[in-house]
Chain A
Amino acid sequence: MRHLLSTAELTRDEAVRILDTAEAMAATQGRSIKKLPTLRGRTVVNLFFEDSTRTRISFEAAAKRLSADVLNFSAKGSSVSKGESLKDTALTLQAMGIDAVVIRHHDSGAPHRLAHSGWIDVPVLNAGDGTHQHPTQALLDAFTLRRHLSADGETPAPEDTALDGASVVIVGDVLHSRVARSNVSLLHTLGARVTVVAPPTLLPVGIEPWPCEVRYDLDEALAEAVPDAVMMLRVQRERMTSAGGFFPSPHEYHRRYGLDGERLARLPERCVVMHPGPMNRGLEISAEAADSPRSTIVEQVGNGVAVRMAALYLLLAGEEGIA
């Protein structure tokens, strides 16, 4: 594997190797000196065509902790706003002698295009493309879940383990969610059982072949799945371009698909609450659920840096990428 574009391309062994490497990275992040010399002299470009604060900062922290130099390129106020194409941007970066590109793009497939076009010959890491994939988010979710399945979430998970037998319920705006797509395939690859719950209007056409169960009723689904984790998706109102029609009102959405205190109390005792952030409190998740001790939302952010360090290490440190 030379790029990290989609969790659907990852084999089980590759995914487990990324998680194990991330544990090794996480172990270095509790030290007083967090910086490692591993990627000294390498340059990583954060190429962000879409607004993102947390993912960009997380990738930037990961690259810097490995001593890589980081160039931040955001579309706003750049040559892109003057009409430059992805190809010309790529050729420019290649000419500057970069060693990896982290790309976020509003169009699905842009990272794949960048990786396979021949414009550049460095590893490409997808940091989210349109409604397609966000592989490092799914990997950090799997990392967080793997820790909670074996212990309390702070203790490193045993090496060479996956998520076999775990039950995960993913709730909400699946239609617009690259996090959902990435998670469904990765969780399935790692042996977990996945249930997706959403109103029919927020499910994509063609969901049938996905390796998961699809339900419309959250309470029924939670009762049947007996989940180890509930993953709440952000309602992506900025992508809901057609005027309304996805759900009658925020209040009704919250009542039927939001994680409120009552549903939280009915979850199995070991079940954790996950959210990729940023949250719409009061819409898909209540403040009570978001701030409860079961919530792993802040943990997920910390784990994200370790997972991105692992991805950068595996793609950049050796000559071949993931063997």
Chain B
Amino acid sequence: MNLSYLVFVKQVPDTKNITGEAMKPDGTVNRAALPAIFNPEDLNALELALNLKDRFGGKVTVATMGPPAAAEVLRQSLYRGADEVALLTDRAFAGADTLATSYTLSCFAKNNGKYDLILCGRQAIDGDTAQVGPQLAEKMDIPQICYVEEVLELDRKKIKARRAIDGGFEIVESALPALMTVINSNEPRPASAKRIMKYKKAKTRNELLTLHANAAYTDAEFLVKEEEELKQKGLWIHALSAADVKADIDRIGLKGSPTKVKNIESVVLKSSEMKKIEDNEAGIKFLVNELIKEHILG
């Protein structure tokens, strides 16, 4: 089937090793200072899209909004089997909350193709909000299927999927186009060695310019030729600005974000006055007596 899948992914700081200096004074995240990884549940979303392509055919496009360095998650998507990738990057996107982010993504999805299914991870590990998926679905005016575990049936008109609910699961059927948020319920395929060999050369224009920093102004013709070659080999990572996706400048970035960070505090673990109890019969007896005396134990 000639279905088209659009997967939104995010490059995120690895939240396992974070310090207070990772924040800028304005309260937004200083992403440059942190190791960046492919958001885990977005890998599950990509896997589901590739799995649908394997089962039902179609084409998988992967897009991300982020700084130029986010092109890396797009290359990783190509290694795993994505057909086409796009980087939404513009200084004007910076500081976006979930509302501005979902608006920006919707501009791409509406103005840069036609998609039957949009997939994204349930949430990203930097904010854990799980808001962008449903907000994007609303902006696209399409139904949302959240917490998807697997897709049971798919045809041109509709999809049947199994999703997690509190304490169980639900099987739902929805008309297409639709949006799914995917949870950690599949095993993302590893990057293929053959595809790595090919797609490690994939570049954005920015990366091409950086690579030929010295040639950039002296030999523009050479760069144009190289760009053309990369495009023909499918090694071109489209980089799109706010204008390219036809975004309203008042609805993106900090300006398009209703929520503002008032302040950020590192979590200081509170230290209580701890009574040390010895691991012997007298110590434990004392403890149990205290608890009974204080009516903590009956």
Are A and B a genuine interacting pair, yes or no?
no
